[in-house]
Amino acid sequence: MSWNVEYAFLLLISTSTTFLSGILIQNASSIGRKKLYVAISLFVNLSILVLFKYYNFIGDSLTSFISIFDIEYKAPKFNLMLPVGISFYTFQALSYTMDVYQGKIKATKHFGKYALFVSFFPQLVAGPIEKSASLLPQFNSAKSFNYERIKEGLILMAWGFFKKMVIADRLAILVDTVYNNPTEYEGIELVVATFFFSIQILCDFSGYTDIAIGAAKVLGFDLSKNFNRPYFSKSIPEFWRRWHISLGSWFKDYLYFPLGGSRVVNWKKYRNILIVFIVSGLWHGASWNFLIWGLLHGMYQVLDIVLTPLMKIKNGRFNINKNNFIYKFYKVSLAFCLVSFAWIFFRANKVSDAFYIVKNLFVLNTEVILGNGIYDLGLNRTEFKVAYIALLVLLLANLLERKYNLMNLLHKQHLLVRWTYYLSLIFYILVYGVYGSNEKAAFIYFQF
């Protein structure tokens, strides 16, 4: 409300509609009435989302399409700003309606507790998207001071700030330099900026998630895990089981399965996958860039399913050991490159910029690396060194996380080791964190 008082009413409408629909669905005497109340809840919430997030995009697309036939038409525009967190809290509220309809939970009668579920501040604006069965019951139990829990929450928050302020915001300087003026660059410069964005968006979004989960833990609440070392994935399907887990789970439960999931003939399964990822792309933003990004990931998924039997035959014929380090490294590298390629469309300011980057991505200009050209992209030598050290720390943490629970591992260390870690982390954030009120200080997923 400190930003825009009127937009707070959108949150109130979404909350009130789904709260009432839950009670009406539970008390309905027939399946028909239950479906009617679900439909009303979906219509109200999705109408708000479409109006504020997609109306102008639909109008512009319609205008462009009609102009192909030499017909002059200009769709009316609304001068509306995108309400903070609308995609996240709308999906969270709708999941409650559908969970009550499917009998997964009982409708809550306490409006205050339900409103807290929809607007729980640590994860309101950028997730994780919590399921009602997981978060709502936690509001019914008393909370008391717990030193260990608070300490764990603060450590997790500090780790999140490290990823966001030291890594993501630093890499953003180079990424913004290149992606905001892509036609001035080619080859290695575009490759470095694209790979840096892959790391930036991971550290930015997972950093926010760590801060949100840590803040909730300090207050006595447990939020769901949203990231699980996604860039260690050996395939695109595995990547989506590890990246933005709560959104993937939402689409699986409330879109993919209702469409028929994978228990249908192959062409319908492929159709369902493509629909889910196109919708996922549009969920991220009202732009053709996001639609293409979602379509790319949908095509990756379909190709993986189609090619998996052939790859098994190839591996058997050539006696390839899938547990071999070189094979695993190849698979992880391939998945990372495919994901990074798709990120081009996600990050580019417009579709034409994305296609320029794709076209000029493989220009061989090694002089940028051999000379000092790489230091003309916004980060000097010192900044690169700081980024490299921070990335090594992140890589070490990810490698350790494969075998250990990092929080438990930290607790087992000597007092001196633990406090060296705490103070080093705080020192690095204070000294090497990127500060300022510019756009880089904002979390990327706040715009969704």
Q: Give the pLDDT confidence of 41-85 residue by residue, as tens digits.
A: 999 999 988 888 888 888 878 888 787 777 777 777 777 777 878
pLDDT score, position 440: 56
Q: Where residue 86 falls among pLDDT bands split at 50, 70, 90?
A: confident
**Domain match, 114 and 186 both:** no
Long-range residue pairs from 244-247, CB within 8 A, at least 24 positions apart, any chain: 244/127, 244/205, 245/128, 246/127, 246/128, 246/129, 246/130, 247/91, 247/127, 247/129, 247/280, 247/283
pLDDT score, position 10: 87
**Domain match, 158 and 291 both:** yes
Q: What is the pLDDT of residues 129-151, one digit of tens each?
A: 999 989 999 999 888 999 999 99
**Domain match, 194 and 275 both:** yes
CA distance 174 to 181: 11
Write down which residue in 119, 136, 164 finishes a domain.
Answer: 119
**Domain match, 107 and 165 both:** no
**Domain match, 202 and 347 both:** yes
pLDDT score, position 437: 59
**Domain match, 89 and 165 both:** no
**Domain match, 54 and 154 both:** no
Higher-confidence position of 199 and 10: 199
Higher-confidence position of 320 and 293: 293
**Domain match, 384 and 433 both:** yes
**Domain match, 356 and 404 both:** yes
Residue 129 lies in a domain: no
CB 356 within 8 A of CB 194: no
Residue 34 lies in a domain: yes
Output the CA–CA distances (angstroms, integers) from residue 190 to 242, 358, 360, in the order listed. 26, 9, 8
CB 163 within 8 A of CB 210: yes
**Domain match, 111 and 232 both:** no
Task: Pick the range with the lowest mean pLDDT from 224-233, 262-271, 429-438.
Answer: 429-438
Residue 228 lies in a domain: yes
Task: Pick the range with the lowest mean pLDDT from 141-155, 266-280, 307-321.
Answer: 307-321
Write down which residue in 100, 119, 138 finishes a domain.
Answer: 119
Residue 125 lies in a domain: no
| pLDDT surpasses 70 at 439 | no
Record the tokens describing residue 62, joined without a space: 């319609």
Nearest alpha carbon to residue 287 among 46, 82, 75, 48:
82
First to last CA, the chain: 18
| pLDDT surpasses 80 at 230 | yes
Mean confidence (pLDDT) of the chain: 90
CA distance 59 to 49: 15
* SS3 letters across 202-263: HHHHHHHHHHHHHHHHHHCCCCCCCCCCHHHCCCHHHHHHHCCHHHHHHHHHHHHCCCCCCC
CA distance 282 to 247: 13
Range of the domain at 215: 147-447
CB 193 within 8 A of CB 377: yes
Single out the catalytic residue among 110, 244, 284, 297: 284
Alpha helices in 50-122 (DSSP H): 55-67, 86-101, 111-118
Write down which residue in 119, 134, 155 finishes a domain.
Answer: 119
CA distance 13 to 33: 21
**Domain match, 318 and 217 both:** yes
Query: Other CB atoms closer than 10 Å to residue 90's CB: what's the count?
Result: 24
Number of domains in the chain: 2
Residue 115 lies in a domain: yes
Residue 141 lies in a domain: no
Residue 420 lies in a domain: yes
Q: Where residue 5 falls among pLDDT bands split at 50, 70, 90?
A: confident
- Give catalytic status of residue 110 as yes or no: no
CB 129 within 8 A of CB 246: yes
CA distance 135 to 117: 7
**Domain match, 226 and 98 both:** no
Residue 281 lies in a domain: yes
